[in-house]
Amino acid sequence: MEEQEHQQAEVQPHPKLLYHYTDQCGLMGILNSDCLWATHYRFLNDATERQGALDFFLAIDQMASKDQHISSRYWCGLRESLDRLLQSVDAYFISFTKDTAEPQSAGDRLSQWRGYAPGRQGYSMEFQADSLGYKAGEWTENMRLATVMLQCIYDNEVKEEIAEKVIKGHAEALKLIAQERIKKDHPGSERLIDDPNYSNKLRDLQLNLLKFTSQFKHYGFREENECRLAVYVIQGVSELKLIKFRDGALGRTPYIEIPLGLRDQDSMLKRIIVGPSQDKDQIVVSLRLDLAKMGIQGVKVVPSKIPYRNW
């Protein structure tokens, strides 16, 4: 069983559809604002969010003790640079469930209904993954923010394997950048480097480290099979005007609105599943009318197939 889970964790097929579970308040907020809400990582349901960064530090220490091909100066520098990076950059996440393993129950998982709408009416919003990632990336690039779609990693062995690849890749990239810098600073010995954008290369390396620390999730959350849209914001910059607040279980919760374009001709929202309830058939009719009044077309509304009574 463990070997099977390990193999499944290594193979991460790109999903065509992603599902966002929410309750009535969350659904209407998304539909009315035509936006998804990316929530600050400290206000999510996993109390160990960004624990991946600490696991990453542990992986660095373990590799430093056994890998003699990379200098101790590099290991110390990597720890310090990552620590500064995590202190200066905030992460905001939108969580989705990837259901490629069980298409027959896609978007209709009992564990998710219980987790995201306990005792309340739940909804599952089905999105076209490619369109969602493209739209979010296009918007955040204009806003000078970094956005990436990530598949969460739960298996500890896979975490260690990826950590090793990321760290070694980071070391090699830094070596190449340093060599190019030397060539540019001494044009008499070698021709000038055609690509002088060293800061962009370093920024890409930093983004890779951020992506890695954002992918780690506690093993106990593995049933969620989460894909997440991560938005990175540098603290203290003008982009802070994009940050809004809502009342949540943990108090005033910071979030960023990511435009969806639900009224576009080819909307990325394909289907809404109405969660288990004694009135789900009536709710389906009501939601269809609501979508029509909002001018949102082409979205199927269907009831959950799960005969779960939560009233």
Instruction: Give the range among 97-111, 113-127, 220-234 with minimum mean pLDDT.
Output: 97-111
CA 148, CA 265: separation in Å to the nearest integer?
25
Which amino acid, one-letter code, is at 192?
L
Distance CA 142, CA 193 (A): 29
Of 210 and 194, the structure prediction assigns the larger pLDDT to 210
In the chain, which residue ranges form alpha helices assigned H by DSSP?
A: 2-10, 24-33, 51-66, 72-88, 110-116, 129-142, 156-185, 198-215, 280-294
The more confidently predicted of residues 64 and 204 is 204
Most confident range, picked from 66-75, 226-235, 291-300? 291-300
pLDDT higher for 290 or 46?
A: 290
pLDDT in tens, 114-155: 988 888 899 999 999 989 988 888 887 766 678 889 999 888
Q: Is the dihedral of CA 250, 256, 262, 268 positive or negative?
A: negative
Predicted confidence band of residue 233 (pLDDT cuts 50, 70, 90): confident
Q: Is the pLDDT of residue 301 over 90?
A: yes
Tokens of residue 158, six digits: 């896979």
Question: Cα separations (Å) of 98 from 75, 122, 246, 258, 285?
Answer: 35, 18, 27, 20, 27
Residues 30-66 have pLDDT tens digits of 999 999 999 998 888 777 776 666 666 666 666 666 6
* pLDDT for the residue numbered 6: 44
Q: Find residue 216's DSSP bridge partners.
A: 153
CA-to-CA separations, 302 to 1, 112, 286, 289, 299, in angstroms, rounded: 35, 17, 12, 13, 10
Residue 195 pLDDT greater than 80, yes or no: no
Please tell me the predicted confidence (pLDDT) of residue 170: 75
* 176: exposed, middle or buried (Cβ count in 10 Å: 0-12, 13-18, 19+): exposed
pLDDT tier for residue 192 given thresholds of 50, 70 and 90: very low
The predicted structure's pLDDT at residue 310: 67
Q: What is the pLDDT of residue 169?
A: 77
Mean pLDDT of the chain: 80
Do 209 and 85 meet the contact criterion of CB atoms below 8 Å apart?
yes
User: What confidence tier does 100 reach under pLDDT thresholds 50, 70, 90?
Assistant: low
What residues contact residue 292 under an 8 Å CB cut-off, 6+ apart?
Answer: none
DSSP three-state, residue 120: coil
Provide the whole-model pTM.
Answer: 0.81
Residue 174 has pLDDT above 90, yes or no: no
Rounded CA gap, 36 and 103, in Å? 24
% of the chain exceeding 90 in pLDDT:
34
Euclidean distance between the first and the last CA atom of the chain, given in angstroms as a whole number: 36
> What residue ranges do the domains of the chain occupy?
12-303
pLDDT of residue 261: 92
Give the model's pLDDT for residue 3.
Answer: 44
> Do the Cβ atoms of 51 and 216 come closer than 8 Å?
yes
User: How far is it, in rounded angstroms, from Cα 34 to Cα 150?
Assistant: 22
